Amino acid sequence: MRVVIADDTPLFRHGVAHLLAKEGVEVTGEAADGTELLALVAEQRPDVALIDIRMPPTHTDEGLVAAAQIRERFSQVGVLVLSQYVEAAYVLRLLDGDEGGRCGYLLKDRVMHADQLVTSLQRVAAGEVVVDHELIASLLDNRQQSDPLNELTDREREVLALMAEGLTDKGIAERLWVTPKTVESHVRHILRKLAIPDGASHNRRVHAVVTYLHA
């Protein structure tokens, strides 16, 4: 797997690059801002771009803007954005309108755990949507009464939460100690109850995750 890293702090970039190299991940370049990142992606065409949300010049959402541009211009390059804080609005911007997956949102603290970081990068490279479990918990805590998920059973909500974390049916089955066939059945019921549109142009699982995060 080939990865580029974008963060305005050289020490952080070099540290993450060293950590990933030890795990067998090839880091093909580093960037300090969005402009450098886009040029690097155009040149290297990595599997995933690992991007800090807050970069120069304003240190607000430059990384998120760059991620959107990468997804528009280089659809085969995954983006995994990093944030110091749980920021639901940012992850919704990242996922809203998404059809193809290949993106994720991870808290910056996770980079200290090589296995979690590498697993997230691998999932994004494979086309999955990965959302930090702490954000999922935060959104659950702040769920409003007008919840569009009211029709789901507790188990279906649990399955949908794990889908939002980026787990496959097999991964969900292992987490819940059920068979993959049972998970497939739950997913079908979730998609039907949420009235997720069908058809080749829609990634129904991504639509379900976005509905879940918006609720």
Provide the pLDDT for residue 113.
84
Angle at 168 between CA 159 and CA 70, to 5 degrees: 110
Q: What is the DSSP letter of 161?
A: H
Q: How many helices (H) and strands (E) does the chain have?
A: 10, 6
E strand or H helix at 44, and its extent?
helix 34-44
CATH fold of 2-130: Rossmann fold (3.40.50)
Provide the pLDDT for residue 140.
57
Provide the pLDDT for residue 215.
59
Calculate Rg over the CA atoms of the chain: 17
Contact status, residue 100 vs residue 68, Cβ threshold 8 Å: no
Whether the per-residue pLDDT at 81 is higher than 90: the answer is yes
pLDDT tens per residue across span 18-51: 999 999 999 999 999 999 999 999 999 999 999 9
Given pLDDT bands bounded at 50, 70 and 90, which one contains residue 200?
very low
Average pLDDT over residues 144-160: 76
Name which of 14-18, 93-97, 156-160 the model is least confident about. Answer: 93-97
- Calpha distance 56→71 (Å, rounded): 20
Residues in a beta bridge with 133:
none
Pick the CATH number of 143-214 from 3.40.120.10, 3.40.640.10, 1.10.3470.10, 1.10.10.10: 1.10.10.10
CA distances from 27 to 6, 32, 117 (A): 11, 15, 14
- Calpha distance 127→45 (Å, rounded): 15
Average pLDDT over residues 69-78: 92
Given pLDDT bands bounded at 50, 70 and 90, which one contains residue 145?
very low
Paired tokens of 178: 């059920």
Complete edge-to-edge strand list for the sheet that includes strand 2-6: 26-31, 2-6, 48-52, 78-83, 103-107, 129-131
Coil, strand or helix: which one is 29? strand
Whether the per-residue pLDDT at 204 is higher than 80: the answer is no
- Length of the chain, in residues: 215
Paired tokens of 55: 């970069």
Given pLDDT bands bounded at 50, 70 and 90, which one contains residue 111?
confident
- Calpha distance 150→131 (Å, rounded): 22
pLDDT: is 39 or 140 the higher one?
39
Side-chain half-sphere of 73: how many Cα atoms within 13 Å?
A: 14
Domain ranges of the chain: 2-130, 143-214
Provide the pLDDT for residue 49.
97
Provide the pLDDT for residue 70.
94
